[in-house]
Amino acid sequence: MKALKYVVLPLFVLLIGLFVSACGSSGGNSQPDGDTDTPDGDVEEPTDGDTDGDTEKPVDGDEDGDAEAPDIESLVESGVFWLENGEAQIAGEFFMEAYAAVPDDPRAVFGYALTESMVGLETLGMIIQVALQPKVPEKSQDDDPSDFAEWIDKELVKTLGELNAHFMKSVELYSELKTLGGLNMTFTRIPIYLGIHETVWITGEIDDTDVYVLDGISRMMAMVFEFVTAHHVKSDLYTVIGMFGSDMLDVDLPAILNIVAYLLNYDEDFLAFQDDGSAKVDRTRELLLGALDDVLAAMVSAESERRDDPDQSDDFLTVDENGELVMNIWRYSTPEEGEEPQEELAARVIIDADTILAANALKNHILVGDDLAYVDQTVSPLISAAAMVAITCGLLDLVGVDLPIPDAALSPSTLTTLLNGLMKFNLLALDFQAYYADPKPLREMLPAWTSDKPEFENSLYLEWECPDELTDDGLPDGSGGFFCAGDEDTLVDAAHFAGTPYAIEADEHTVTTPYIAMSDPSFAGLLYVDWVGLRLAEGEEADWREADQYSFNAALAKVLSGILSFL
């Protein structure tokens, strides 16, 4: 059951964790909002002693009171000092001031942009840590659950919005820097924090090539948070927390399904769009296109840089002998028992030829839409490239995930092969143009649920094809209570969800995986499946059709079977 909870619980736990984070931050100091004026929390400049503080003290004997122009070199040096000492927010204040004084200085723009994204990553890391170890707040008898739902919706979206403002400001500044060009800075050590943990650090030269990759990372982070904050999270978590208390992570699968149904039934705004939800989703399109441009431009810039300066021994990003873009980050080794950790260089490929082809294909699909975005050829290589960045920066270490691949063999191509093999991605394709033309909120793309029963008795629609295995709670007694045991004698091909709008006929296949009724199996026109690959239709060539309940569940069985066999 524990393994299953890692599959089913992440979104639910994340919501709880984010709620706790919102509680903790609601009365604290706010982060800088990215304005180019005075940063939040800045100490005011000393006055000349007037009680009203309205007169600046003359500088260098200047009797008319005009202030001396800021010393840009000193500001940049101070920013670098604090950045190298792990204080991104303090460093950001100096770079912000330098940028306000000389907005076309590449060092000021870069420092401001980098520190904004680093503060965002640090905050995100703390949220992840809280989500993995949620605390249960005490509930007062006087608390009104509806008031709490309104409060959490407002505060959580506000908290995530403030976090996202860092990434959006970073994107804005990197865009200016890509136009400006001419960046060249050398750092002794820039520590990268996820929460309070220093995971890796950067040393050496940062130049124009690096800007594209750093901008791409900021764009992808902003894209995620734009999508999340497009939705309401208004729900009665208070009642749920009150029912289960400190046992929240030990509830069984039936309780999880009932909790999800309860939250969805509690308020029609839960996971529905905010008033500006559609506009935020539109912005995710532009952020995605910008990130794809960054992938393509990074390779062009890196190749040009290698021709002009073959010695790349001190660069953050380099091009190897195969023409692949490599990220060079330092970290501490995992020591053997009785040994001390040692500093080591983690040099990993983050962009290869398949990544370039995939970025071009996805960009053309979004802009022109002549063909679908095939998941195995177009989406999977880009997921792998993003995963390589996350792995290199220590994100998997933070959440305690170990990949079944030797460290030395890690690359986008090996991850793509693993993903396509496990997930059967060759059966799936996406139509981003259709989705962006009429985006739907998460609420309308989740599994369907009942709404005609008492509280916590409604559930998601799940059915299995092993009737002899089902226990009293209607779930199989196979792995995690989520899969049938797989004995052929217990599997019976059957129709599903009879008497509901989600009813499907028997499909002439018996599977150990669940059948799930989806509110919209096509995910607002986004998902297509290959009927020939699924053997739901005869033919030699692929037959791509928009997913429905029938084909979605056939594809789901293939995907889950691959994962189950791996586990």
Residue type at position 205? E
Q: What is the mean pLDDT of the chain?
A: 82
Helical ranges in 229-352 per DSSP H: 237-244, 253-266, 277-308
- Whether the per-residue pLDDT at 136 is higher than 80: the answer is no
- Tell me the average pLDDT across 288-295: 97
- Predicted confidence (pLDDT) at residue 238 exceeds the cutoff of 90: no
pLDDT at 134 over 60: no
Tell me the percentage of the chain whose pLDDT exceeds 90.
53
Band of pLDDT at residue 287, cut at 50, 70 and 90: very high
Q: For strand 462-463 and strand 544-546, is the pairing parallel, antiparallel, or unpaired?
A: unpaired
Mean pLDDT computed over 133-139:
51
Q: Name, of 2-16, 19-33, 460-474, the range with top average pLDDT.
A: 460-474
What mean pLDDT comes out for the span 376-380? 96
pLDDT of residue 501: 94
- Angle, in degrees to the nearest 10, between helices 237-244 and 10-25: 110
Length of the chain: 567
pLDDT at residue 107, as a whole number: 97
Q: What is the DSSP letter of 356?
A: H
Q: Which two tokens stand for residue 496?
A: 């599903």
Among residues 259, 1, 248, which one has the least CA distance to residue 132? 248
d(CA 460, CA 449): 4
Q: What confidence tier does 133 reach under pLDDT thresholds 50, 70, 90? A: low
Q: How confident is the model at residue 507 (pLDDT cuts 50, 70, 90)?
A: confident
What pLDDT score does 239 carry? 81
Query: Would you say 207 and 183 are in contact if contact means Cβ atoms under 8 Å apart?
Result: yes
**Res 49 pLDDT > 70:** no
Burial classification of residue 457, based on how many CB atoms lie within 10 Å of its CB (0-12 exposed, 13-18 middle, 19 or more buried): exposed
- 455-493 pLDDT, tens digit per residue, is 889 999 999 999 988 888 888 988 778 888 877 778 999
pLDDT of residue 204: 92
CA angle 7, 11, 14 (to 5 degrees): 120
Strand, coil or helix: 462: strand
- 349 or 253, higher pLDDT: 349
Answer for the pair 324, 414: CB distance below 8 angstroms, yes or no: no
The proportion of the chain whose per-residue pLDDT surpasses 70, expressed as a percent, equals 80
Instruction: Provide the 3-class DSSP secondary structure of residue 351.
Output: strand
- pLDDT, residue 330, reads 92
CA-CA distance, 318 to 43, in Å (whole number)? 40
According to the model, what pLDDT value does residue 380 have? 96
pLDDT at 185 over 90: yes
What does each C-alpha distance from 180 to 97, 212, 244, 305 come to in angstroms?
Answer: 18, 13, 55, 17
3-state secondary structure 206-255: EEHHHHHHHHHHHHHHHHHHHHHCCECCCCCHHHHHHHHHHHHHHCCHHH
- Per the model's pLDDT, the better-predicted residue between 514 and 56 turns out to be 514
pTM: 0.82
- pLDDT score of 321: 85
pLDDT at 119 over 50: yes
Q: What is the pLDDT of residue 13?
A: 36
- Residue 138: its pLDDT value, please? 53
pLDDT interval class at 123 (50, 70, 90): confident
Give the residue among 183, 15, 195, 29 at the shortest CA–CA distance from 111: 183
Would you place residue 308 in the very low, low, confident or very high pLDDT band (cuts 50, 70, 90)? confident
Residue 15 has pLDDT above 60, yes or no: no
At 142, the pLDDT band (50, 70, 90 cuts) reads: low
How far is it, in rounded angstroms, from Cα 499 to Cα 327?
55
Is residue 236's pLDDT more than 90?
no
Q: Find the helix or strand (DSSP H, E) in which 550 lies.
A: helix 549-566
Joined tokens for residue 398? 């933070």
Q: Does the pLDDT of residue 210 top 90, yes or no?
A: yes
- Which tens digits make up the pLDDT trace of 403-460? 666 666 788 999 999 889 888 999 999 999 999 999 999 999 999 999 999 988 999 9
Q: Is 190 helix (H, G, I), strand (E, B) or coil?
A: strand
494 exposure class (CB count in 10 Å sphere: 0-12, 13-18, 19+):
middle
The CA distance from 276 to 384, in Å, is: 31
Which of the two residues, 239 and 464, has the higher pLDDT score?
464
Is the model more confident about 488 or about 348?
348
Q: Return the pLDDT at 469.
A: 87
If phi > 0 it is left, if psi is from -120 to 50 it is alpha, else beta; for residue 216 that is alpha
Question: Using one digit for the tens of pLDDT, what is the confidence trace for 160-177?
Answer: 888 999 999 999 999 999
Q: Which helix (H) or strand (E) holds 545?
A: strand 544-546
